[in-house]
Amino acid sequence: MGGVTSSMAAKLAFFPPNPPFYKVITEKSSGLLLLDRFPHRENVDVLKLPTRRGNKIVAVYVRYPMATRTVLYSHGNAADIGQMYELFLDLSIHLKVNLMGYDYSGYGQSSGKPSEHNTYADIEAAYKCLEESYNTKQEDIILYGQSVGSGPTVYLAARLTRLRAVVLHSPILSGLRVMYPVKHTYWFDIYKNIDKIQFVSCPVLVIHGTSDEVVNCSHGKQLWELCQEKYEPLWIKGGKHCNLELFPEYIKHLKKFISTVEKPPSSRRNNHLRKSVDQSSSTTHRHHSSRRKSTDCFEAPRKSTCKRENLDFINELEPFALKFDINDDKIGKLRIPYEHMERSRRSVEYVEKPRTSIDMKPEWPRMSVDCIDRIGN
């Protein structure tokens, strides 16, 4: 049973680009690692990081002069750091932060296979590198998770008590809840953000599009309600799953968030907590012309009742597996043919039953945006 549900979960969650959007090469003169598709930059390091599960993942570290904060970015599904590279550079410049982005096991040129528990080991390896190789303090780190990337982001944030902040971009309540509005959490579900978000003690910014055709906006709104320290969320009117960074209010709101979390907690609470805003502008729609019409339908989670839940839907999930987080057409020069996307990767890893407390308490400090374009000022 465990192997079957783990395999099903992997099919629902992971779509690494095939072929990868980049290769890692070694420069002969210096011995430095480079991404073959992009020119070498003095402020960008390409790294291979070992994980506790025996894989080696590829990461990039972008430096910004005199930056005081570092963003650890967990990208969305059907993307790799080759596709994310230019966005990483833009975010570093606009937000004036250092930024580390990494590929999950089985994505890009990272070894291994995609799985929930591998992504947890992946983000731990990236965080460890920030601490040990770049002398980055926990209180100077902002975790950023988009879509599937919200899973490893919330997992790590629940264990680190001194983080500066967290950004959740089009996040999911859990993997199963993307497919079906279940009222309870089942042991075979993956990325149970709905149960872990309450243990995140730092400010949390939630960004979600009101027209998201892949992960319903209700996911972001429910996670925001469950946060301990709510920051003013951004509900982008008309925004879909793969185009939020094309709206001007996206970068403006991120800048304001970065500026706010620099202030003392008392000042943050007075000015920005427990507010909800809907951003809309007729001028913003011209910034996202290359969009696919939605073919995915999602209902808002139903209210809980006392009746026993019907589990027949589990057998019906297989035909709908390809609906979860499939990437929109890429924009501009980073466009990637749809037919090259690998629609499923099976995992043979066993998904354990949730432990009663150890996965929920902070312990050892130990899925992107899926489309890319240059951010407007």
Out of 212, 325, 328, 373, the active site residue is 212
Q: What does DSSP say about strands 98-102 and 56-62: parallel, antiparallel, or unpaired?
A: antiparallel
Give the three-class secondary structure for 57: strand
Residue 296 among the catalytic residues:
no
Out of 241, 253, 272, 288, the active site residue is 241
Residue 184 among the catalytic residues:
no
DSSP notation for 153-209? HHHHHTT-SS-SEEEEES--S-HHHHHS--SS--TT-S--HHHHGGG--SEEEEEEE
Q: Where are the alpha helices (DSSP H) in 227-317?
A: 248-260, 265-272
Residue 241 among the catalytic residues:
yes
CA distance linking residue 150 with residue 144, whole number of Å: 8
**Beta strands per DSSP E along 80-156:** 98-102, 141-146
Give the three-class secondary structure for 226: helix
CA distance linking residue 215 with residue 25, whole number of Å: 36
Out of 147, 150, 170, 368, the active site residue is 147
Residues with a known catalytic role: 147, 212, 241
